[in-house]
Structure 1
Amino acid sequence: MNPPGLRERKKQRTRTAIQQHALRLYREQGYGSTTTEQIAAAAEVSPSTFFRYFPTKTDTVLYDRLDPLAVDAILAQPADVPPLRAVRNALREVLEALSPEELALEASRWRLVSEVPELRAAASAQIETTLPVFAEVIGRRVGRPADDEAVVAWTGAVVGTIIASLFAAFDRGDRDLIGSVHRGLAHLEAGPASLTSADGGP
């Protein structure tokens, strides 16, 4: 994949800045009490520019710049690596490459999704568009179409595990989001054995 050009990098910086200010305001004064006008003012952009990047306030939370990075990282894994191991390796590469500031941004996003019912519902609906993307990636790795029954079921299990692990981390006050996701995928990789092991570990 070719690196983004100057124009695209500038757009990404603007999008990230708007999202960062939005998440900061949500944290300081609450999601429901924050307006798009306040976010635009904090990011020093016009309201029309705000809506050019984020059609709704909800999108400032749901926008996930890591998805395309994860897709590229999965496809870049060696062909002889099993699918689930390829996903685990790819996610580790993407998440561990984040700066502390970027990781904090992701934590803020997922904390809001876990705490605000409106956002949690929207995130659940968004899965309908996320699953086909990752099913296409997994299908390419195993030589099957994206709508293959096994590919669809397996992709749903992986995506569901990632999301459930993130929500569970927030519910128990666990700040190690990367570790929580990898432990969840390790349990999935171990299969039923992880439910019967003496220590409950994968």
Structure 2
Amino acid sequence: MSTDIKQKIGLRERKKAKTMASVQMHALRLFRELGYNATTVEQIAEAAEISPSTFFRYFSNKEDVMITDNYDPLLIAAFEDQPPELSPLQAVRNAIMSGMTDMSAEEMETMRERNQLIMTVPALRAATLNNLTQTMQLLTEMVAKRVGLKPDDLAVRTFAGAIVGVNISVMFYYAENPAADFAKLMDEALAKLEDGLPL
């Protein structure tokens, strides 16, 4: 794949991620004002100045607007760009952190509010677990390719599970400490994993 094609795909993915973040921002405002259960997809679409059919191109339902993002392709690209001499954990950590440093203050605030809502609405928390299972599968495929193992290798799956576990622990901590810096928390948690989880 040429550099030009990669750049175009990257731009398209970034634009899609920005649109999704905008819809999520409007949805969060409505959830604050009306409550999660009382807010409809039609109201979210109207607030975001898109049609309901456009909403459904990005999200399959109201739960998805809170648990889905389009950063996976960006994570994959950032991971694949990591130097080969880095360990798989260092490569994952750098890829995750590079995605966060590119986020605007508004996107970070939207992420904070999403996390608060996910951790307090049982249906969203359950849906997030399914989403994180998909993220774990993505990580197993990325890492297996990098280290030359199969995605179903137990060591690769355990590695991906540890990364997802770090993510879950940070989400819970962040929900309880919303004034904290999410990117810093994630970096510190991944550093602890890299150090062998000393207690």
Aligned to 1:148: 153
**SS across alignment from 1:64:** coil
Matched residues in 1 for 2:65 and 2:185: separation? Answer: 24
Mind listing any 5+ residue stretches in structure 1 that lack a counterpart? 196-202
- CA shift at 1:11, angstroms? 5.5
CA distance in 2, matches of 1:191, 1:111: 29
Q: Which residue identity lines up with residue 70 of structure 2 in the other structure?
A: R
Say whether 1:46 aligns with 2:51: yes
**Matched residue count:** 194
TM-superposed CA distance for 1:4, in Å, is 3.4
In the other structure, the counterpart of 1:33 is 38
How far the C-alpha of 1:65 sits from its partner, in A, is 2.0
Contact 1:61 1:113 in 2 (8 A): yes
Equivalent residue number for residue 74 of structure 2? 69
Contact 1:166 1:180 in 2 (8 A): no
Give the corresponding residue for 1:20: 25
- The offset of 1:189, in angstroms, is 1.1
Q: For residue 133 of structure 1, report the CA deviation from its aligned partner.
A: 1.0
Alignment match of 1:104 (pick from 105, 109, 125): 109
Identity %: 44
Q: Report the RMSD for the aligned CA atoms in angstroms.
A: 2.2
Deviations 1:116-173 (A, max 9, x none): 1110000002222221111110111111111111000111111111221122122234
Gaps of 5+ in 2: 1-5
**Residue equivalent to 1:138:** 143
TM-score, normalized by length of structure 1?
Answer: 0.86
Counterpart amino acid of 2:112? Answer: A
Deviations 1:55-89 (A, max 9, x none): 20011111112222112111111001011111111
Q: 1:47 to 1:170 in 2, by over 3 A?
A: same
SS in 1 for 2:170: helix
TM-score (norm 2): 0.87
